[in-house]
A and B are shown apart, each in its own frame.
Chain A
Amino acid sequence: MTHYHNDESDIAIKVQGLAKKFGAVQAVASVDFEVNAGELFGFLGPNGAGKTTTINMLTGLARPDAGKIHIGGIDCTQRPRGAQHLIGVVPDESNLYPELSGFDNLCFCAALYGLDKSERQARARELLDTFDLANAAERKFGGYSKGMKRRLTIAAGIIHRPKILFLDEPTSGIDVASARHMRQLIGDLHKSGTTIFLTTHYIDEAERLCDRIAFIMSGRIVRVDSVANLIQPIRQKHVMQIAFENGQGELTGELSEAFPGLNFICHQPGLIQVEGKEPVRVGPLVRFLEDRGAEVSEARKIRPSLEDVFVQITGVGADMMRKEKEKTGGNQ
């Protein structure tokens, strides 16, 4: 379902020079990107990078100060609500009606898109089955668990079969099993041809799901590329992690001097990451460390991932990003 470099009619979302300022803060500055029809496009960045502001502008919940937005070929700068029928939005917080049951919430959301009674009831039942919520259909949404709320919120976002779906942090704050189920559902939606614009704090999730990814930092897009192209340069590196106890002195400096072909990074005391262009030979490194009083407990090869690319491009640690999100509500 993924298409690259197609003509205008195959472009689901086109953004040119998008900018938004809140007082003195430039939230989004001259953002450009395109999302192809049927593509799963990831939008990654730390808190405050401009992700939500960009989504709000794309979905008509905020007005851009400058720039152009085309959704499904409709100029949303001229007609800000012109593409509402084409899009579905799943916000980062589950925002359905706590007083209504799961079934009634879905029927109500379907009614907002003009589905008639029999059609919306059938679609609600279908989605309750798909999202494994049929047994909780008559329970009030307010009494659902976080995972159930998230699933119903996604169901509500696709109740009208949108061509383009905006998913803001779909797995934030839910347990591992629910998150896995959610990723499977997102994958199925993608396979069915829905264009998906996904923001997430979980970089491994983006790596697993997305066709292409844009990194946004301080309101600017710093890189847009396919996951394969982003990872390729870093995959050519050989990386090893060595854990030890009782190391004395400035070991990374000494290691760099002793092994000039290798790069040493100390992420935390007792843990050194070794990077090289050739496969890293672990024996000499272990002997070197043990000669200096360190007791090596583990040495393992690391497969470089999108997380490393993200850290390299943005300078923000992925752990830091996860913690930021947990502070603001997510707890996966």
Chain B
Amino acid sequence: MKCWIAFWNIVVKDFRTYYLKPPNISWGLIFPLAWTGMFFIKSGRGLESISAILPGVIALSILFGTTSLLAVTVTFEKKNRSFERLLLAPIPLELLMLAKTSGAILFGMFNAFVPVFMAAFLVNLTDVNWFVFVPAVFLISVASTFLGLFIAVAVNEVFEAQTFSNFFRFPMIFLCGLFFPISALPFFLKPLAYALPLTYGADMLHGAIHGGNVLSLSVDLTILAVFCVGLFVACLRNIQRRWIA
């Protein structure tokens, strides 16, 4: 019970201190809007292209929203040593890091629904399979957040976190089947595409929105869940190795 009081208060504190700040809310709104506009204009095919580009825009909104904020907030707290307060608290490290990442996961899910909300005014979304869509959004948020945590633990400065994030994020835009099908990639890049978690999340979203998934949804779901667990375990190991060394 005491651990959950700590857990809940860490989440609430992070929301108050970081995620509900006006600049971050506007980032959560403007960023998906910009991606949607950019790909909509680029497609040149009119309103019918929206459902095709929606999975990619949703995935990117989550990816950029979570990795940016988590990498910055954790690095910032580590830098000003307030993170030590959390490490000194009598709660298991696993629970502490889940609390620290929960805010970013929820923020990522909020980011995901911004393009959906906008698309709802332009196209018919009644065919969307929400039972697949919501778990996909959740798992992409979790995987992206843990990727952000992995980056935050690996660096010392806030600016390093941003540049290091881009090292992972930008290749994913082109390699994960968000806007260009993986089948269209050169053969030597295909293995790399399947080594990235967002590939499976994007495939689930394609399946949920217009039924265009390549892999079976259960395979996507399983592999994405494995990525989430693997990234979290790697983050915990890095924290033990670098911060409690």
Binding site for B on A (CB under 8 A): 59-63, 80-81, 84-85, 87, 89, 91, 93, 95-100, 108-109, 111-116, 156
Residue of A nearest to B77 (CB): A97
B3 touches A60 (CB 8 A): no
CA distance A115 to B8 in the complex (A): 12
A95 touches B85 (CB 8 A): yes
* Binary flags per residue of B1-42, CB closer than 8 Å to A gives 1, else 0: 111011011100100110000000000000000000000000
Can you report 14 A-B residue pairs in the complex whose CB atoms are below 8 A from each other? Answer: A62-B244, A63-B245, A81-B92, A96-B82, A97-B82, A98-B80, A99-B17, A108-B9, A108-B13, A111-B9, A112-B10, A112-B86, A113-B2, A114-B6
B81 touches A112 (CB 8 A): no
Residue of A nearest to B87 (CB): A61
Inside 8 A of B184's CB, which chain A residues have their CB?
Answer: none
A111 touches B88 (CB 8 A): no
A81 touches B90 (CB 8 A): yes
Residue of B nearest to A83 (CB): B90
Beyond the given pairs A63-B244, A100-B13, A113-B6, 10 more chain A to chain B contacts, judged by CB atoms under 8 angstroms and listed by A's residue number, are A81-B92, A84-B88, A84-B89, A89-B84, A89-B88, A95-B81, A97-B17, A100-B16, A114-B1, A115-B5
Inside 8 A of A100's CB, which chain B residues have their CB?
Answer: 13, 16-17
8 closest A-B pairs by beta carbon, nearest first, are A114-B2, A111-B9, A84-B90, A112-B89, A95-B81, A85-B90, A95-B82, A112-B6
Q: Is B221's CB within 8 Å of the partner chain A?
A: no
CA distance A61 to B239 in the complex (A): 11
Give the dominant DSSP class at A's interface: loop
CA distance A62 to B81 in the complex (A): 14
Inside 8 A of A115's CB, which chain B residues have their CB?
Answer: 5
The tally of residues in B whose CB lies under 8 Å from a CB in A reads 26
Asked whether A60 and B87 contact (CB < 8 A) given A108-B9, A116-B5, the answer is yes
Residue of A nearest to B96 (CB): A112
A113 touches B90 (CB 8 A): yes
Pick from B82, B90, B91, B245 the residue with the most CB of A within 10 Å.
B90
Inside 8 A of A156's CB, which chain B residues have their CB?
Answer: 85
B88 touches A61 (CB 8 A): yes
* Binary flags per residue of B79-115, CB closer than 8 Å to A gives 1, else 0: 0111011111111110000000000000000000000
Residue of A nearest to B243 (CB): A61
For the complex formed, measure the closest distance between the CB of B91 and the CB atoms of chain A, giving whole angstroms: 7
CA distance A59 to B91 in the complex (A): 14
B244 touches A61 (CB 8 A): yes
CA distance A61 to B88 in the complex (A): 7
A111 touches B17 (CB 8 A): no
Contact of B13 among A59, A63, A84, A97 (CB under 8 A): A97
For the complex formed, measure the closest distance between the CB of A116 and the CB atoms of chain B, giving whole angstroms: 7
Inside 8 A of A96's CB, which chain B residues have their CB?
Answer: 82, 85
Asked whether A59 and B88 contact (CB < 8 A) given A81-B93, A115-B5, the answer is yes
Inside 8 A of A97's CB, which chain B residues have their CB?
Answer: 13, 17, 82
Residue of B nearest to A116 (CB): B5
For the complex formed, measure the closest distance between the CB of A127 and the CB atoms of chain B, giving whole angstroms: 16
Inside 8 A of B93's CB, which chain A residues have their CB?
Answer: 81
A114 touches B3 (CB 8 A): yes
Residue of B nearest to A166 (CB): B88
CA distance A60 to B17 in the complex (A): 27
For the complex formed, measure the closest distance between the CB of A211 and the CB atoms of chain B, giving whole angstroms: 25
B46-104 interface with A by 8 A CB criterion? 80-82, 84-93
Contact of B91 among A80, A93, A109, A112 (CB under 8 A): A112
Residue of A nearest to B86 (CB): A112
CA distance A109 to B84 in the complex (A): 12
Inside 8 A of B17's CB, which chain A residues have their CB?
Answer: 97, 99-100
Residue of A nearest to B1 (CB): A114
Pick from A97, A98, A112 the residue with the most CB of B within 10 Å.
A112
Inside 8 A of A114's CB, which chain B residues have their CB?
Answer: 1-3, 5-6, 90
CA distance A177 to B212 in the complex (A): 71
